[in-house]
Amino acid sequence: MNVFKKAGVAFDRLEDFLVYLAAAAALALVLMDCAEIFLRTLFGRSIRAAVEIEEYLQLFIVFMSAAYIQRLGGHVKLELVLGSLSSRNRALVSAVTTFLGGVFLLILSGYGTATAVEMAVRGVYRITPLEFPKAPLISAVALGLFLLAIRFLRNAYEYASEYRSQRRRTGIGKKDGHVIHQS
Protein backbone atom coordinates (compact mmCIF):
# COMPACT_ATOMS: atom_id res chain seq x y z
CA MET A 1 0.00 0.00 0.00
CA ASN A 2 1.50 3.34 -1.03
CA VAL A 3 1.77 6.41 1.17
CA PHE A 4 -1.27 8.16 -0.33
CA LYS A 5 -3.51 5.15 0.23
CA LYS A 6 -2.31 4.85 3.83
CA ALA A 7 -2.91 8.56 4.38
CA GLY A 8 -6.37 8.21 2.84
CA VAL A 9 -7.25 5.32 5.15
CA ALA A 10 -5.96 7.27 8.16
CA PHE A 11 -7.98 10.32 7.10
CA ASP A 12 -11.12 8.19 6.72
CA ARG A 13 -10.57 6.81 10.22
CA LEU A 14 -10.15 10.35 11.58
CA GLU A 15 -13.43 11.34 9.91
CA ASP A 16 -15.12 8.28 11.42
CA PHE A 17 -13.77 9.11 14.87
CA LEU A 18 -14.87 12.74 14.66
CA VAL A 19 -18.35 11.82 13.48
CA TYR A 20 -18.69 9.51 16.50
CA LEU A 21 -17.61 12.40 18.72
CA ALA A 22 -20.17 14.61 16.96
CA ALA A 23 -22.84 11.96 17.61
CA ALA A 24 -21.84 11.91 21.28
CA ALA A 25 -22.13 15.71 21.31
CA ALA A 26 -25.60 15.42 19.76
CA LEU A 27 -26.59 12.99 22.50
CA ALA A 28 -25.21 15.39 25.12
CA LEU A 29 -27.25 18.15 23.49
CA VAL A 30 -30.44 16.10 23.78
CA LEU A 31 -29.67 15.17 27.40
CA MET A 32 -28.97 18.83 28.21
CA ASP A 33 -32.35 19.81 26.72
CA CYS A 34 -34.10 17.07 28.71
CA ALA A 35 -32.40 18.18 31.92
CA GLU A 36 -33.32 21.78 31.17
CA ILE A 37 -37.00 20.86 30.67
CA PHE A 38 -37.02 18.66 33.76
CA LEU A 39 -35.45 21.31 36.02
CA ARG A 40 -37.64 24.08 34.67
CA THR A 41 -40.84 22.04 35.06
CA LEU A 42 -40.18 20.64 38.53
CA PHE A 43 -38.15 23.36 40.20
CA GLY A 44 -38.77 26.46 38.12
CA ARG A 45 -35.02 26.81 37.54
CA SER A 46 -32.81 26.22 34.56
CA ILE A 47 -29.16 25.42 33.97
CA ARG A 48 -27.39 28.77 33.99
CA ALA A 49 -25.19 28.23 30.93
CA ALA A 50 -27.34 25.70 29.07
CA VAL A 51 -27.84 27.84 25.95
CA GLU A 52 -24.14 28.62 25.74
CA ILE A 53 -23.13 24.97 26.13
CA GLU A 54 -25.69 23.96 23.50
CA GLU A 55 -24.24 26.54 21.09
CA TYR A 56 -20.76 25.06 21.56
CA LEU A 57 -22.07 21.55 21.04
CA GLN A 58 -23.89 22.58 17.86
CA LEU A 59 -20.71 24.20 16.50
CA PHE A 60 -18.76 21.03 17.27
CA ILE A 61 -21.40 18.79 15.67
CA VAL A 62 -21.49 20.77 12.43
CA PHE A 63 -17.79 21.23 11.86
CA MET A 64 -16.60 17.83 13.05
CA SER A 65 -19.06 15.96 10.84
CA ALA A 66 -18.86 18.07 7.65
CA ALA A 67 -16.04 16.08 6.02
CA TYR A 68 -17.73 12.76 6.80
CA ILE A 69 -21.00 13.99 5.29
CA GLN A 70 -19.12 15.10 2.18
CA ARG A 71 -17.60 11.60 1.94
CA LEU A 72 -21.13 10.16 1.93
CA GLY A 73 -22.22 12.65 -0.75
CA GLY A 74 -24.63 14.34 1.64
CA HIS A 75 -23.90 17.95 0.72
CA VAL A 76 -25.88 19.98 -1.78
CA LYS A 77 -25.19 19.44 -5.48
CA LEU A 78 -26.73 21.06 -8.53
CA GLU A 79 -28.28 17.87 -9.87
CA LEU A 80 -30.36 19.82 -12.37
CA VAL A 81 -27.20 21.05 -14.08
CA LEU A 82 -25.07 17.95 -13.57
CA GLY A 83 -27.86 15.62 -14.68
CA SER A 84 -27.99 17.26 -18.09
CA LEU A 85 -24.29 16.57 -18.77
CA SER A 86 -22.68 13.43 -20.11
CA SER A 87 -20.96 11.31 -17.47
CA ARG A 88 -17.56 12.43 -18.80
CA ASN A 89 -18.43 16.14 -18.66
CA ARG A 90 -20.10 15.66 -15.27
CA ALA A 91 -16.82 14.20 -13.97
CA LEU A 92 -14.90 17.17 -15.41
CA VAL A 93 -17.26 19.80 -13.94
CA SER A 94 -17.28 18.00 -10.59
CA ALA A 95 -13.46 17.79 -10.56
CA VAL A 96 -13.06 21.50 -11.26
CA THR A 97 -15.74 22.71 -8.83
CA THR A 98 -14.67 20.44 -5.96
CA PHE A 99 -11.03 21.45 -6.51
CA LEU A 100 -11.96 25.14 -6.36
CA GLY A 101 -14.12 24.49 -3.31
CA GLY A 102 -11.21 22.70 -1.63
CA VAL A 103 -8.84 25.59 -2.32
CA PHE A 104 -11.41 28.08 -0.98
CA LEU A 105 -11.88 25.98 2.17
CA LEU A 106 -8.10 25.78 2.69
CA ILE A 107 -7.93 29.58 2.52
CA LEU A 108 -10.78 29.90 5.03
CA SER A 109 -9.11 27.35 7.28
CA GLY A 110 -5.85 29.31 7.14
CA TYR A 111 -7.61 32.52 8.11
CA GLY A 112 -9.46 30.69 10.88
CA THR A 113 -6.22 29.27 12.23
CA ALA A 114 -4.53 32.69 12.17
CA THR A 115 -7.53 34.21 13.96
CA ALA A 116 -7.53 31.45 16.59
CA VAL A 117 -3.81 31.95 17.26
CA GLU A 118 -4.29 35.71 17.54
CA MET A 119 -7.19 35.26 19.96
CA ALA A 120 -5.20 32.77 22.04
CA VAL A 121 -2.24 35.15 22.26
CA ARG A 122 -4.49 38.08 23.21
CA GLY A 123 -6.51 35.93 25.63
CA VAL A 124 -9.90 36.86 24.16
CA TYR A 125 -12.93 35.46 26.03
CA ARG A 126 -16.62 35.48 25.26
CA ILE A 127 -18.57 37.68 27.65
CA THR A 128 -21.04 34.98 28.68
CA PRO A 129 -21.84 33.06 31.87
CA LEU A 130 -19.00 30.58 31.25
CA GLU A 131 -16.51 33.19 29.96
CA PHE A 132 -15.17 30.59 27.55
CA PRO A 133 -12.08 31.56 25.51
CA LYS A 134 -12.75 32.20 21.82
CA ALA A 135 -9.61 30.50 20.49
CA PRO A 136 -10.83 26.88 20.94
CA LEU A 137 -14.12 27.74 19.24
CA ILE A 138 -12.41 29.31 16.23
CA SER A 139 -9.92 26.41 16.20
CA ALA A 140 -12.79 23.91 15.93
CA VAL A 141 -14.16 25.81 12.95
CA ALA A 142 -10.73 26.01 11.32
CA LEU A 143 -10.12 22.29 11.87
CA GLY A 144 -13.52 21.38 10.44
CA LEU A 145 -12.90 23.56 7.38
CA PHE A 146 -9.44 22.03 6.91
CA LEU A 147 -10.80 18.48 7.05
CA LEU A 148 -13.58 19.42 4.64
CA ALA A 149 -11.00 20.98 2.30
CA ILE A 150 -8.97 17.76 2.30
CA ARG A 151 -12.14 15.77 1.58
CA PHE A 152 -13.00 18.14 -1.31
CA LEU A 153 -9.51 17.78 -2.77
CA ARG A 154 -9.69 13.99 -2.47
CA ASN A 155 -13.07 14.05 -4.22
CA ALA A 156 -11.64 16.32 -6.93
CA TYR A 157 -8.88 13.78 -7.53
CA GLU A 158 -11.45 10.96 -7.78
CA TYR A 159 -13.55 12.96 -10.27
CA ALA A 160 -10.43 13.77 -12.31
CA SER A 161 -9.49 10.08 -12.33
CA GLU A 162 -13.02 9.22 -13.46
CA TYR A 163 -12.76 11.83 -16.23
CA ARG A 164 -9.41 10.42 -17.40
CA SER A 165 -10.67 6.83 -17.34
CA GLN A 166 -13.74 7.76 -19.39
CA ARG A 167 -11.50 9.58 -21.81
CA ARG A 168 -9.46 6.38 -22.28
CA ARG A 169 -12.59 4.22 -22.62
CA THR A 170 -14.12 6.43 -25.29
CA GLY A 171 -10.84 6.59 -27.17
CA ILE A 172 -10.77 10.35 -27.20
CA GLY A 173 -7.20 11.50 -27.23
CA LYS A 174 -4.32 12.36 -29.49
CA LYS A 175 -2.19 10.11 -31.62
CA ASP A 176 0.55 11.57 -33.77
CA GLY A 177 -0.95 15.05 -33.28
CA HIS A 178 -4.41 14.03 -34.57
CA VAL A 179 -7.55 13.80 -32.47
CA ILE A 180 -8.99 10.29 -32.41
CA HIS A 181 -12.71 9.68 -32.02
CA GLN A 182 -14.02 6.16 -31.65
CA SER A 183 -17.68 5.36 -31.99
| DSSP notation for 50-111 | HHHHHHHHHHHHHHHHHHHHHHTT-S---HHHHTTS-HHHHHHHHHHHHHHHHHHHHHHHHH
Structural domain boundaries, residue 71: 3-171
Q: How far apart are CA 173 and CA 182, in angstroms?
A: 10
- Is residue 41 one of the residues assigned to a domain? yes
Rounded to a whole number of angstroms, the CA Rg of the chain reads 23
Say if residues 52 and 128 touch (Cβ distance below 8 Å): yes
Q: How confident is the model at residue 173 (pLDDT cuts 50, 70, 90)?
A: low
- Is residue 176 one of the residues assigned to a domain? no
- Is residue 179 one of the residues assigned to a domain? no
- Is residue 182 one of the residues assigned to a domain? no
Q: How confident is the model at residue 170 (pLDDT cuts 50, 70, 90)?
A: low
Say if residues 54 and 36 touch (Cβ distance below 8 Å): no
pLDDT in tens, 22-81: 999 999 999 999 999 999 999 988 888 888 889 999 999 999 999 999 888 877 777 777
Q: Is 49 helix (H, G, I), strand (E, B) or coil?
A: coil
Q: What is the pLDDT of residue 178?
A: 47
- Is residue 23 one of the residues assigned to a domain? yes
What pTM did the predictor assign?
A: 0.81
Phi, psi of 162 (to 5 degrees): -65, -40
Print burial letters for 3-24: b (CB count within 10 Å at least 16), e (below 16): eeeeeeeebeeebeebbeebee
End-to-end, the C-alpha distance of the chain in Å comes to 37
Least confident of 5-14, 91-100, 159-168: 159-168
pLDDT in tens, 127-151: 888 888 999 999 999 999 999 999 9
Q: What is the pLDDT of residue 183?
A: 42
Q: How far apart are CA 70 and CA 3, in angstroms?
A: 23
pLDDT at residue 85 tops 90 = no
Count of domains forming the chain: 1
Check the CA dihedral 83-87-92-97 and report its sign: positive
- Is residue 91 one of the residues assigned to a domain? yes
Q: What is the pLDDT of residue 23?
A: 95
